[in-house]
Amino acid sequence: MKKLLEINHSRKSFGDLEVLKDISLSVEESQVLSIIGPSGSGKSTLLRCATLLETLDGGELIYDGVHAARDEGGRAVYAPPAELRKVRNMFGLVFQNFNLFPHYSVLKNVMEAPILVQKRDRKEVEEEARDLLAQMGLADRADAYPFQLSGGQQQRVSIARALAMNPKVLFFDEPTSALDPELTGDILRVIRALAEKKMTMVIVTHEMAFARDVSDYVVFMNEGVIVEQGDPREVIDHPTQERTIQFLRRLTEG
Cα(172)–Cα(207) distance, integer angstroms: 12
- pLDDT, the chain, mean: 94
Burial state string for 189-206 with b = 16 or more CB within 10 A and e = fewer than 16: ebbeebbeeebbbbbbbb
Q: Quick one: pLDDT at residue 253? A: 73
Query: Given its phi and psi angles, is residue 157 left (phi above 0), alpha (psi -120 to 50 degrees) or beta?
Result: alpha
Cα(220)–Cα(33) distance, integer angstroms: 11
- Sign for the CA dihedral angle at 232, 238, 241, 245 comes to positive
Q: Quick one: pLDDT at residue 18? A: 96
Average pLDDT, integer, range 149-178 = 94
Average pLDDT, integer, range 9-14 = 97
Q: Quick one: pLDDT at residue 23? A: 97
Of residues 117 and 81, more confidence is placed in 81
Cα(110)–Cα(157) distance, integer angstroms: 7
Average pLDDT, integer, range 62-79 = 96
The residue type of 74 is G
Digit-coded pLDDT (tens) for 193-225: 999 999 999 999 999 999 999 999 999 999 999
Residue 132 has pLDDT above 80, yes or no: yes
Contacts (Cβ under 8 Å, ≥6 apart) of 177? 96, 206
pTM for this model (two decimals): 0.94
Residue 169 has pLDDT above 70, yes or no: yes
Banded pLDDT at 177 (limits 50, 70, 90): confident
Of residues 182 and 189, more confidence is placed in 189
Digit-coded pLDDT (tens) for 32-70: 999 999 999 999 999 999 999 999 999 999 999 999 999
Strand order in the sheet with 225-230: 91-94, 169-173, 201-204, 32-36, 217-222, 225-230
Q: Quick one: pLDDT at residue 241? A: 96
In the chain, where the domains are located: 101-166
Banded pLDDT at 254 (limits 50, 70, 90): low
Task: With CA atoms as reference, report the closest residue to 195 among 211, 178, 175.
Answer: 211
**Longest CA span, the chain:** 55
